Chains A and B, each alone.
Chain A
Amino acid sequence: MLSDPNVYVYSPYNNRPKITWPNGARVAFWVVPNIEFYELYPPPHPTRKDMARPAPDIQFYSSRDYGNRAGLWRLMEVMDRYGVRGSVSLNVAVCDHHPEIIEACLKRNWELFSHGVYNTRFQYGMSEAQHREFIEDVIATIKKHSGQSVAGWLSPALSNTEMTLDLLAEYEVLYTCDLFHDDQPQPVKVKKGKLISMPYAVEMNDIMVFHQVAARSPRHYAETIKAQFDQLYEEGAENGTVMCIPLHPFLIGQPHRIGPFAEALEYITSHDGVWVTTGREIAQHYYKYHYDDVVAAQLQSTRK
């Protein structure tokens, strides 16, 4: 095991090359609905178990199924209202189980990126051959059902291997969401090709806020979103920032949560200088205008 993942260089937040966004925007804002499928009887994994009760854990299963049947459609309505396209972190088995969802995403011109196959299948322990098969399955499935290439990758249930990032670069994935070390995109060290990390704000994630860490109320969540935005907007005047809201329709799409969330979205989108965009578009802009400068600056600072 490694004590330092050694996938990025240390780069302090001050004295960085200035990041600019289109039309002089201060903040690149992207919203990530995690559209997931959890199996009722997942195969056991040797190192991780998510369900508290022996399968079938119908409370775990049915509460998540709520997202696909009801919550997502409520979320789509709110995002449409404020002109926010989703960047979907997709369990690609949803393409097979629920093609109506994919159709609704494509109709809205949303981006589909990878969140593995099922949220009940983890990457831990995969051999290289298995990992390649897994990545190829995801890329082919998204291509087949949407025509899109896979630009982003959030490992299913945040399960990683030490190979994952190198393999993603090899398969020409543009960005990973698995690193939470920064509020700007950052180059990732890979063996071949290029990869960047995209800020995916673990503390803005509704599942962390409501379930895993904080148990906050929906209105408290809306306050934290606004405060996060205010700070990133202020800092973005000097050097462009990225604001991300990672969401789970089974949580945010509940009737008692969607109202306060809509207010937060209205607050953000009512500001000038906010680039309301997708992960792919942020990554493409960053590679085009900033990647080489940032890599050069980081190389120079590590040589000092």
Chain B
Amino acid sequence: MTSFALNDSSVFVVIGSGAAGGTLANELAQRGHKVVCLEAGPRLQMADIVNDEAEMFGKLTWLDRRMATGKPDPNFPVWNCKTVGGTTMHWTAACPRLEPHEMRALTTYGVMPDTTLVDWPVTPEELEPWYQKAELRLGVTGKNGLPFLPPGNNFKVLEAGARKCGYTDIDTHHMAINSIDRDNRPACHQLGFCTSGCAIGAKWSTLYTEIPKAEETGRFELRPECMATGIALNDAGRVESVTYLHNGKSVTQKARAVAVAGNVVETTRLLLNTKSARFPNGLANSSGLVGRNYMRHFTIQVMGVMPGKVHFYRQTHLAGVVRDERGHRPERGFAGGFLINTVPFTPEILAKNMLIGGWGHELTDILAKYDYLAGMLLTGEDPPQLSNAITLHATERDGYGLPVPVVHYEDHPNTIAMKNYAWKAGRRIYEALGAEQIVEMGDYIPATHNMGTARMGTDPKASVCTPYGQTHDVPNLFVSDGSLFPTSGGCNPTLTIVALVLRQAEHIDQALKAGRL
């Protein structure tokens, strides 16, 4: 395995090994650059991935202390991963693209009170070829000649009910799950444990795609269990090194340039916690916007006790989609739109989610009909609000001795209106098929889509990064994850993150080759 010296200042350091970090690191290595990738979590082997949600939760999840104020769970506001592969271990692998009207949010929706809505500084036309490259790389189904995944029970119920309601834009979705053997990975066997790590590797995860491919170049070194704690600048205001904790010891790696890809919360924490005379409020934070405009998508559920058995756990978690409510139709009483996807729950998770609403027969009458349940997850656009922000706690410290991140989030009235509409829309779908009982479940799942805290833009006063994810303040410091999103759109963010990263990699490659970095 390749390894680089700590004083080798020619390496590009990538912090994070998930969708953004893992892909960027591989792409730079493929383009001939030396890369060190720091990952806070351990490197699992395929044999470590088992079909047991509770066990995998412990193996994959970022469990270091976090706090929240406002709407989220005060102790567990965000559900992301701390492992090589990052949250590509947990993701459902849904790969919708942003809609062009969503990338022009301010133009489309108009001024919305108490938001910082903007149009993206990258146009849909500019992003289009990068979406294509991302879809090819991830093997997205229903694109580039790859077949869709086959329809299973939970999807068939959703589809049948949705068609009765007049919806038509319905299929098994564009998924980064192999529908045929490809990329030295098998086709999906419908294990039903997508969010606990795919035990056969049919789902794209950087753990067994980007990372080993980067290693094959001989120009890449992965350093697992290395928690980045600071980024140092030289007198000229350029990054010169990254410091991290490994086995309790502080280590410093020299760097030519650095990209941060810590799934928003850790990206924010690292920048805010790196204070200097030049940047007293945190690195690359002259705008004061690092950590601000934090967005997540709402995730509400509707469960139906159906007239016949469904066995909704017997397939991919996100097994299909209804897109008809994705458009912007203000007559519904809100701006933007949402997607309707399938979702299953294990009995344990279903019980826990329902406990928030009650106990006794209210709960167990549903659980007793577990094999008759169909389930859907509805997720929609979340407008950016300056007051939704990730900050550092003044005194509380985690196991690394780092300030605990505090996530503050409240729903915008637009989100509340959209949720109320979405619950009704979901309910109608199962009612159309004669569901015996419908359970509406609230927005309890901790956020998995994290966006907005280092937004891209052209004005250094109104954004943290350039349209290529380069920080306005420090020329050789990049942000690569969902932090860059100026608005959230109405769909899962990972494909867009990968598309932006591939575009960023080309930009970095050209800058490195031209001697500008």
Q: Do A and B come from one complex?
A: no
Chain A positions within 8 Å of B, measured between CB atoms, are none
